[in-house]
Amino acid sequence: MQVIRSQILLFLCQLSCSSSIGTRYTPDWASLDSRPLPEWYDEVKFGIFVHWGVFSVPAFGSEWFWWNWKGAQNPNYVQFMTQNYPPEFSYADFAPNFHAQFFDPDEFADIFAASGAKYVVLTSKHHEGFTNWGSPNSWNWNSVDNGPHRDLVADLGTAIRKRDLHYGLYSTLYEWFNPLYMSDKQSGFKTQQFVENKVMPELYNLVNRYKPDLIWSDGDWEAPDTYWNSTGFLAWLYNDSPVKDVVVTNDRWGVGCSCKHGGYYNCADKFTPEQLPNHKWEKCQSVDVRSWGYRRNMKLYDLMDLPTIIKDLVYVVALGGNYLLNVGPTAEGMIAPVFEERLRGIGAWLQVNGDAIYATKPWRVQTENATVPVWYTSKHSTVYAIFTSNPMQNTFMLLAPQTSYSTVVTLLGNPEPLKWAPLQTSGLIVLLPDLPFSPAKAWTLKLERVA
C-alpha cells in the first residue's frame, strides 16, 4: 500500500509538479549530475560570450596579459611594458584606465539581440580577480570602486533582460596572483582560505544579487572540487537559490570535472567533437581566434569571417551543441565595428534560416556529402539539411531522408515548394531554384514529413 501510494504520488507529480519539487540534491556528483538541464538552454542554441575586464586596458596579446607578463614572463609582454610604461608601473595601475566611458548597455544588448543570440554570458570576474560588480570581497579591485565606477554586471544584465535574452555570468574559481589563493596552493590545497573568503562569498553574492540564468565556471584546473567546495555550492544553487529552477551550469568545477560533471559540458575551450556527444555540450569560440579579450594588435586575418562562423554554428547545432561566440569590448566600452558586423551578419542569416537552428534536435544522421556537405537538424518529422557551399548546379541529392508521398521540400527564404523525386533505395533529388544571395554562404532545405 505504501509503495503504491508513493507511486501514485510520483505519477501525479510527473503530471503536474515542476521537476524541482520534491527533489533535493545532495552535495555529491551522483546527485548533482542527475539534475535535468533546464529546457531553455537546449532550445536557444546560440549565445554571445563577452570577455571584459582590466585586461581590456593594455589590450595586448590576450586577456591573459598579466599572467604572460608577470607569471610566464613572456618576452613579448615584458618588452611591451618596458617600451611603453614607466618601470614601476604595476598591473593594478591599468585599472583606473578601464573607463568604459562609451558603454551603453542598451547598444550592446541591441547588437547581441540583432545577432539572433538568445543568451549572453559576461565575465563577472576573470583570472585577474577584478570583479565587474561591487563585490564586498574584492576591495578596490572592482568596477564600482575603481575603473568605470559602474556596476557593469547589473547594467548589462538589465539591458539584456529587457530584450528577453537569458543572462549568464562567467566566473573564475582561481585568481592567478591572489595572495590567499597562493597561500592555499602552497599548502597543497589543504587550507581553504581563498575559497572561504573570496570564491564562495562572491559566487553566492553574484547569484543572490543578479539571479543569473547560467553560471559559466572556469579556472578550476589546479585544484580538486573538494578544495573548491563546488558540490556544496551547486547543491545550494539547485535546491535553495533564487534561480534553482532555471539556472544552467557548465562543467568546470575542479580537476577532472570538465567533460564529466556539472550541467552541460564545455570540455576544452573550442571543443570540436567528431561525433554526436551523448551529453548536452557547448562550444565556446572567439571571433578573434587568438584572444577572448579585446586586443589592439588584432589583425583582420585573425578574425573568423561570417561564412566560417555560420559553418561552425551549423556543425555545432547538428551535433547537439550550443554555440557561444565571443567578442571582447574595449576599455572605452565599445564593441569594435568589425565584431558588430559579424554579429549582425549572423542575425541576418538566422532571420531566414533560424527555423533550422532554434529548438531543433540532432537528427539520426548528422552529416552527408552526396552533392556538397550538408548538416542535418530536425523538429519531429521535419528535417533540415543545411549546406555551406554553393553546389553550382540545380539538382541536389540527399541520401539519408526517407520520403513519403506527402513530403514537401522547400528552400528557406524561397516561397515556392521545390520539385523533387525519390531515389531508388532511399533519399531524394531536389530541383533547386537560383540560390538567393547569402553573405554567409549557407542555405537550408526544409524537408517536411520525412523519416
Contacts with ligand NAG, residue ranges (CB under 6 A): 27, 192, 195-196, 200, 229, 232, 369, 373
| Sequence letter at residue 157 | G
The residue among 112 and 181 lying less far from ligand NAG, judged by its C-beta, is 181
Measured between alpha carbons, how far is 70 from 92 in angstroms, rounded to an integer?
Answer: 12
Least distance to ligand NAG from the beta carbon of 389, Å? Answer: 9
The residue among 49 and 227 lying less far from ligand NAG, judged by its C-beta, is 227
SS3 content of the chain, % helix, strand, coil (to 5): 35, 20, 50
Do 255 and 224 contact (CB within 8 A), yes or no? Answer: yes
The residue among 7 and 197 lying less far from ligand NAG, judged by its C-beta, is 197
Q: Concatenated DSSP letters for 239-303?
A: HTSTTTTT-EE-S-SSTTTTTTSSSSB--STT---SS--SS-EEEEEESBTT-SS--TT--GGGB
Least distance to ligand NAG from the beta carbon of 368, Å? Answer: 9
Least distance to ligand NAG from the beta carbon of 138, Å? Answer: 17
Least distance to ligand NAG from the beta carbon of 371, Å? Answer: 8
Least distance to ligand NAG from the beta carbon of 246, Å? Answer: 22
The residue among 151 and 202 lying less far from ligand NAG, judged by its C-beta, is 202
Which residue in 431, 405, 410 sits closest to 420, CA to CA? 431
State the CB neighbour count (10 A cutoff) for residue 424: 5
**304: Cβ contacts below 8 Å, ≥ 6 apart:** 285, 287, 289, 312, 342
The residue among 229 and 266 lying less far from ligand NAG, judged by its C-beta, is 229
Which residue in 7, 42, 63, 126 sits closest to 295, CA to CA? 63
Which residue of this chain has its Cβ atom nearest to ligand NAG in the complex?
232
The residue among 200 and 284 lying less far from ligand NAG, judged by its C-beta, is 200
Least distance to ligand NAG from the beta carbon of 421, Å? Answer: 22
Measured between alpha carbons, how far is 238 from 25 in angstroms, rounded to an integer?
Answer: 7
The residue among 348 and 429 lying less far from ligand NAG, judged by its C-beta, is 429
Do 239 and 245 contact (CB within 8 A), yes or no? Answer: no
Burial grade of 2 (CB within 10 A; 0-12, 13-18, 19 or more): exposed
Given CA atoms 386, 389, 390, 394 in this order, what sign does their dihedral have? negative
Least distance to ligand NAG from the beta carbon of 204, Å? Answer: 9
The residue among 275 and 369 lying less far from ligand NAG, judged by its C-beta, is 369
Least distance to ligand NAG from the beta carbon of 31, Å? Answer: 12
Given CA atoms 32, 34, 38, 44 in this order, what sign does their dihedral have? positive
Least distance to ligand NAG from the beta carbon of 192, Å? Answer: 5
The residue among 74 and 308 lying less far from ligand NAG, judged by its C-beta, is 308
Give the up-direction half-sphere exposure of residue 332: CA atoms within 13 A in the CB hemisphere: 6
Q: Which three three-digit cell numbers place residue 116?
A: 539572433
